[in-house]
Chains A and B, each alone.
Chain A
């Protein structure tokens, strides 16, 4: 077990807690960078999708996990980002401008939904964002001059400095850079006053307010940043599918993103990544599983949503902190081996405030 002897404020502020962290994250980054030399195009494509989901999940995590505001409308933000990127590229705007603009436009859409719902929390906010997503989906399918309606909108390859990024490893590196940047920005945000204000709003609005946190301002900021990041993921998504159709951005996508956040572990960036891996890999795993199942089960129409639902129910019942929470327990087990007590993580009945994340 590692005991950290704190002698410096920097130890609390910097991102890694000790040299071991730096080593493992460095190793992870290096293996991500060399991955294209090892993997073939199919697996590289799948890995790229996971990276896109990870960007979107981090966006949603900032809102759900850190600010405590539930959104069922993030498919709309993903869609707005995707259509903005595709439309701007189609108009001849260079990728280096269109991609940040996709994030910016989506962030403004986030403000547009964030401001009217300032006083809403929980279920009511979920319904309001769901309504917003439904409206946006209708706009996608009917605004023919911009989105191409149900005919869809083809997406051009992004090009950087006159060099077209058409290969799958190009796209993979693009996703990796965006993800690393997004992780870096969100980590910075979370260790500075804005991030703490968001956590304060999640845990107690009334005392956040008396500590000087402007609720309206920070909720709007949270919505804008969350939507903006999801919009960037949307921009990447557009390049992944290469042809946008409005039915891609339905309520199911919103639920899938929320699933990533909850299954991964609410309230941590790690959780968003684990959740993205989960929703990125599970459909493939189910597809492979179908080959081995008796045809009566394999051909059932609702197999995939069914399995998603079952896993969600199981996670909520058995592991409210998600995959990341489970990982922490496993790590703790090895840290303390052989002294681990089963009761360490038993949830205690508490007679003060509710323990659940709202």
Chain B
């Protein structure tokens, strides 16, 4: 069974069909990449999966369960985490606090026990910190753990966002342009981390990416999108050499 399937999803904003009858299946344990020119509808697909948008038609299945009607705040609990293209971190909080917000889906306490900070809340806090610490170790963020996000350089923020997504203990992680704004070296690091996330943590990766070097290095399967429609489907090499895809990027 596929981990995540999109079945003929479409979304319309006014007269524009941003995503038009797109179907794909992400298998467990793979890196699945969506490429396409600007405005092709890649991020819109992410927003459909995180339930920020409601599809006009079609269904989204996660582990066989229909999530098309799910509330957006329940998505993290199901095991779908995401990062954002323009970095949506909590600017006036420390790295550790950001990661702890990533643990929110695993909260067991209620507001009354929190007001009194009962021992159960304290135990839960320690458990959350242990998990956050594992992720900090995994992504080498030790020296930034107490810095405010507002004081961090762009490249580090990208990694912190990845860390925050990992803290939710997802089954699938949606990466929206993990390499945008990173230099060559940081992009290489990102490629290693994506490999590690797949191999060591066993988390499936669905990503949107423009850097073809990164795409070919890590992706198992790729689809190419243009004007909301799927153009091609296959391995990175196949999709790159597809005449339709070349036409979409370079023109006739």
Q: Is A206 an interface residue (CB 8 A)?
A: yes
Which residue in B76, B88, B157 is a CB contact (below 8 Å) of A212?
Answer: B76
Number of residues of chain A lying within 8 A (CB) of chain B: 36
Which residues B91-114 have CB closer than 8 A to chain A?
Answer: 91-93, 96-97, 100-105, 107, 109, 111, 114
Which residues B110-139 have CB closer than 8 A to chain A?
Answer: 111, 114-117, 121-122, 125-126, 129-130
Q: How large is the interface on B (under 10, 10 to 19, 20 to 34, 35 or more residues)?
A: 35 or more
B92 touches A357 (CB 8 A): yes
Closest to A353 in B: B91
> With A188-B114, A188-B115, A209-B73 in contact, do A199 and B125 touch (Cβ < 8 Å)?
no
Q: Is A144 an interface residue (CB 8 A)?
A: no
A residues near B168, Cβ cutoff 8 Å: 211-212
B104 touches A206 (CB 8 A): no
Q: How many A-B residue pairs have CB under 8 A?
A: 118
A207 touches B84 (CB 8 A): yes
Which residue in B92, B100, B164 is a CB contact (below 8 Å) of A267?
Answer: B92
A9 touches B102 (CB 8 A): no
A209 touches B52 (CB 8 A): yes
For the complex, give the distance between the alpha carbons of A275 and B252 in Å: 66
A188 touches B117 (CB 8 A): yes
Q: How far is the CB of A125 from chain B (nearest CB, A)?
A: 19
Q: Is A170 an interface residue (CB 8 A)?
A: no
Which residue in B76, B116, B125 is a CB contact (below 8 Å) of A211?
Answer: B76
Which residues A330-358 have CB closer than 8 A to chain B?
Answer: 350, 352-353, 355, 357
B104 touches A12 (CB 8 A): no
For the complex, give the distance between the alpha carbons of A136 and B107 in Å: 37
A residues near B100, Cβ cutoff 8 Å: 193, 196
For the complex, give the distance between the alpha carbons of A203 and B157 in Å: 14
B101 touches A12 (CB 8 A): no
Q: Is A214 an interface residue (CB 8 A)?
A: yes
> With A203-B89, A212-B168 in contact, do A9 and B114 touch (Cβ < 8 Å)?
no
A193 touches B104 (CB 8 A): yes
Which residue in A199, A200, A202, A206 is a CB contact (below 8 Å) of B84?
Answer: A206
For the complex, give the distance between the alpha carbons of A200 and B129 in Å: 17
A210 touches B75 (CB 8 A): yes
Which residues B204-250 have CB closer than 8 A to chain A?
Answer: none
Q: Is B171 an interface residue (CB 8 A)?
A: no
Which residue in B82, B116, B117, B125 is a CB contact (below 8 Å) of A210?
Answer: B82
